[in-house]
Amino acid sequence: MDKLRSMAIFVHVVNHGSFRSASGHFDISATMVGKHIQYLESSLGSRLLNRTTRRQSLTESGRIYYHECQRILDDINNAENQIQTLENRPQGTVRVNSPVTYGNQILAPIVVEFLSQYPSINVDLILENRLIDPLHEQYDVIVRIGELADSSMIARQVGVYEMIYAASPDYLQQHSVIETVSDLRHHTCLGFNYDDAVTTSNPLQFNHSRTRLKSNNGQVLTHAAVQGIGVILQPKILIAQQLADGTLQPVLPQSLLEPSPINLLYKDKQLSLKNRTFVDFVLASLRK
């Protein structure tokens, strides 16, 4: 069997949750879909899927293999698109919607680099903390944080949103040790206002009287925490630089929430060249 085709079939089964969907997409029988999965499992010497009569779930090996297969297929698509652009230059406008802080800190620098490499493509980047209707609002690409309720959109996971507590070294030196969440009631905290948040899950909040600063902008809270004002609960991905340079330190050793997926959403399997070029560029940039 063609291993690359088997990998594509495996990824489709995982993304869509059924052999039947892969059967229709690749124009093969469900039995043949199963043979492709068995071929991969045999060649790896490890089971990839736990199969029941109603659904399939990934094994630990399956999760690892799925992400690597997705990366390989993305790289191939990206390479093919780069060659195609030599003959067919992508052009037009890509409309993108993203949560404000993620858009400012993570997506905006990628968009700037994208524009420098593709002068014939424009980008309308709309940042807002509002849970938009992806099927009816006119966006080509949407960044969504949290579990997805709507399966009609195409979703590409680009990262995880892991919430952690953090504070500056100066603050931690001047205040009592924080070993549990209950210890936070004795500390000054900086809270996020999650009204109209674009996440599909509600992160933990500081539910006590010593929340001195609240804001709907994570950068405001991060700046205050770096200055030693108090403890923040922020997505790890958005304070990665401060954690790396030591201006913020993790307060509790473990994450208190299950990480939420960060996905790129788009409507059509067959993207226009401009949209495919943008999506592939973002995916490649976030893997660097």
Give residue-wise pLDDT tens across range 229-240.
999 988 888 899
Average pLDDT, the chain: 85
Which value, to the nearest 10 degrees, does the dihedral of the CA atoms of residues 253, 262, 228, 220 take? -160
Boundaries of CATH 3.40.190.10 in the chain? 90-161+261-286, 163-254
**Alpha carbon separation from 179 to 127, 176, 227, 251 (Å, rounded):** 36, 10, 22, 8
Distance CA 32, CA 101 (A): 45
CB atoms within 10 A of CB 124: 12
Tell me the average pLDDT across 23-44.
93
Question: For position 121, what pLDDT does the model report?
Answer: 93
Answer yes or no: is pLDDT of 199 > 70. Answer: no
Question: For position 44, what pLDDT does the model report?
Answer: 94
The CATH fold of domain 90-161+261-286: D-Maltodextrin-Binding Protein; domain 2 (3.40.190)
| Reported pTM | 0.60
Question: For position 201, what pLDDT does the model report?
Answer: 42
Give the rounded distance of the alpha carbon of 76 from its chain centre. 21
The CATH fold of domain 163-254: D-Maltodextrin-Binding Protein; domain 2 (3.40.190)
Question: For position 151, what pLDDT does the model report?
Answer: 63
Residue 200 banded pLDDT, cuts 50, 70, 90: very low
Distance CA 101, CA 82 (A): 30
Contact 10, 48 (CB under 8 A): yes
**Least confident residue range of 56-65, 174-183, 224-233, 249-258:** 249-258
Boundaries of CATH 1.10.10.10 in the chain? 3-86
The CATH fold of domain 3-86: Arc Repressor Mutant, subunit A (1.10.10)
Which value, to the nearest 10 degrees, does the dihedral of the CA atoms of residues 101, 102, 106, 108 take? -70
Work out the percent of the chain whose per-residue pLDDT is above 70. Answer: 89
Distance CA 217, CA 267 (A): 29
Residue 77 banded pLDDT, cuts 50, 70, 90: confident
Residue 207 banded pLDDT, cuts 50, 70, 90: low
Element (H, E) at 69: helix 60-87
Question: For position 271, what pLDDT does the model report?
Answer: 82
The per-residue DSSP string of 75-140 comes to HHHHHHHHHHHHHS---EEEEEEE-HHHIIIIIHHHHHHHHHH-TTEEEEEEE-SS---TTTS--S
Question: For position 288, what pLDDT does the model report?
Answer: 72
pLDDT tens-digit readout, 263-275: 999 887 778 889 9
